[in-house]
Amino acid sequence: MKTSDFEYYLPPELIAQKPLEPRDQSRLLVVDRQTGSFQHSTFAQLPNFLEPGDLLVCNDSRVVPARLVGRKEGTGGKVEMLMLRSDGDGLWEVLLKPARRFRPGSPFQLLIGPTGATEGPAPSGSPRLSNGDSPTLVAGQVVERTDIGTWLVRFFGNPDLDRLGQVPLPPYVREPLEDPERYQTVYAKAKGSVAAPTAGLHFTPQLIRGLSKRGIGLAFLTVHIGLDTFRPVAAEDPGGHPIHAEWGELSESVARAVNGVRCAGRRVIAVGTSSVRLLETSAAASGQVEPFSGWTRLFILPGHLFRAVDGMLTNFHLPRTTLLMLVSAFAGRDLILEAYQEAIRERYRFYSFGDAMLIF
């Protein structure tokens, strides 16, 4: 198995730049693993493909304004930081741009605010500071570069991301987002992700009520999505890819619900690859899901034995990514690549604001 086995060509115009309104009007490609057949529908019709007693397991993580954009005090050089995770004591793992301006051990002082922002209109989701506000000085020191290309940075006082940060939209989304809440699921609750669990972006309160009336359950776990959601695998052997750890939590009540549904012969459908990852992390060899709280480093590749997931709702993923490999592990690489070609022929919209797949 090679990373190049998970390559495909996508016409650039199929990369969705804006979300549809209402959310559930996105298209839905239904993939049957047993027959290899495809059906075309819309997300609003999701209840018609599920049965009473089935359980949807969703990720309730909320995207934080984790992108800091400022200028170095003195030189005025533009700097961007994507704040990935913190130890709670001022030490952060970040992505730096441009990285060439930093060295291990070097101090930094960034001005963030009216004069520290980028030129032109404020990006979508950026803080709106009043004319009377002065730039905020954010200072710290670069500690070291990690073996996966990120940096460890120690801040002198944790920066106030809620006031200074911007919503970190994916790099392939080039159009401004009028409402930053549109990059959150309607059930987003636990702050911590640097990218949205995009399979959940299609749900509306009305659709959730319709699922409940049909006897289809919803359960919520938390996975704070990190770097690997948009980072291509560089190694030609996927096994050599150092996957980024993500923090997750699955409660005892959710574990009971999952185990009860499967014991009753009904299906557990994971909403998004992040939910798949945590469910499989928490599943024992017996197939029983156990409560979990901590970091998951599970890398799901073809050949993985799924113990907790019977179906999957997911968006379409970038080539050569761990997410495409995970979906291929569940449904088979050939079938998934065939489904992607079907979606391209039918002009589906791809990636974060794009359409969805339901895989059984």
Taking the C-alpha atoms of residue 73 and residue 169, their distance in angstroms, rounded to an integer, is 26
Domain boundary among 136, 164, 192: 164
Residue 283 and residue 262 share a domain: yes
Taking the C-alpha atoms of residue 114 and residue 129, their distance in angstroms, rounded to an integer, is 7
CATH at residue 276: 3.40.1780.10
Q: What is the mean pLDDT of residues 330-338?
A: 98
- The owner of tokens 């690489």 is 333
Domain for residue 173, yes or no?
no
What is the pLDDT at residue 113?
A: 75
| Residue 218, beta-bridge partner list | 56
Taking the C-alpha atoms of residue 117 and residue 326, their distance in angstroms, rounded to an integer, is 38
Domain boundary among 164, 186, 218: 164
pLDDT band at 114 (very low <50, low <70, confident <90, very high): low
Burial class (CB in 10 A: 0-12, 13-18, 19+), 329: buried
Residue 302 has pLDDT above 60, yes or no: yes
Domain for residue 101, yes or no?
yes
Residue 249 and residue 153 share a domain: no
Please choose, from the candidates 34, 324, 51, 38, the residue with its C-alpha nearest in 3D space to the C-alpha of residue 211: 51
| Residue 111, beta-bridge partner list | 71, 137
Domain boundary among 164, 187, 221: 164
Residue 192 and residue 149 share a domain: no
What is the pLDDT at residue 189?
A: 97
Domain for residue 264, yes or no?
yes
Residue 254 and residue 185 share a domain: yes
Residue 186 and residue 289 share a domain: yes
Quick count: other Cβ atoms within 10 Å of Cβ 245?
Answer: 16
- Structure confidence by residue, pLDDT tens digits, 277-293: 999 999 988 889 999 99
Helix (H, G, I), strand (E, B) or coil at 183: helix
- Quote the tokens at residue 96: 């730096």
The mean pLDDT value of the chain amounts to 91
Domain for residue 169, yes or no?
no
Q: Which residue has better confidence, 131 or 258?
A: 258
Q: What is the pTM of this model?
A: 0.90
User: Which range is least confidently modeled, 95-104, 164-173, 351-360?
Assistant: 95-104
Residue 239 and residue 102 share a domain: no
* Number of domain units in the chain: 2
Residue 299 has pLDDT above 70, yes or no: yes
pLDDT band at 121 (very low <50, low <70, confident <90, very high): very low
Domain for residue 172, yes or no?
no
What is the pLDDT at residue 133?
A: 65
Residue 318 and residue 255 share a domain: yes
Residue 255 and residue 142 share a domain: no
Residue 12 has pLDDT above 50, yes or no: yes
What is the pLDDT at residue 123?
A: 42
Taking the C-alpha atoms of residue 70 and residue 112, their distance in angstroms, rounded to an integer, is 5
Q: Is 337 left (phi over 0), alpha (psi -120 to 50) or beta?
A: alpha
Please choose, from the candidates 259, 277, 159, 265, the residue with its C-alpha nearest in 3D space to the C-alpha of residue 219: 259
Q: What is the mean pLDDT of residues 116-140?
A: 56
The pairing of strands 107-112 and 136-145 is: antiparallel
- Structure confidence by residue, pLDDT tens digits, 38-88: 999 999 999 999 999 999 999 999 999 999 999 988 788 899 999 998 887
- Structure confidence by residue, pLDDT tens digits, 131-169: 346 789 999 999 999 888 899 999 998 889 999 999 999
Residue 84 belongs to domain spanning: 67-164
Rg (CA), the chain: 21
- Structure confidence by residue, pLDDT tens digits, 187-200: 999 999 999 999 99
Domain for residue 28, yes or no?
yes
What is the pLDDT at residue 229?
A: 67
Domain for residue 170, yes or no?
no
CATH at residue 113: 2.40.10.240
Domain for residue 171, yes or no?
no
Upper half-sphere CA count for residue 224 (Cβ side, 13 Å): 19
Residue 72 and residue 55 share a domain: no
What is the pLDDT at residue 244?
A: 84
Residue 72 and residue 53 share a domain: no
Residue 208 and residue 93 share a domain: no
What is the pLDDT at residue 125?
A: 43
6: CB partners within 8 A, 6+ apart: 233, 319, 320, 321, 324, 325, 328, 333
Residue 300 and residue 215 share a domain: yes
Q: Which residue has better confidence, 242 or 124?
A: 242
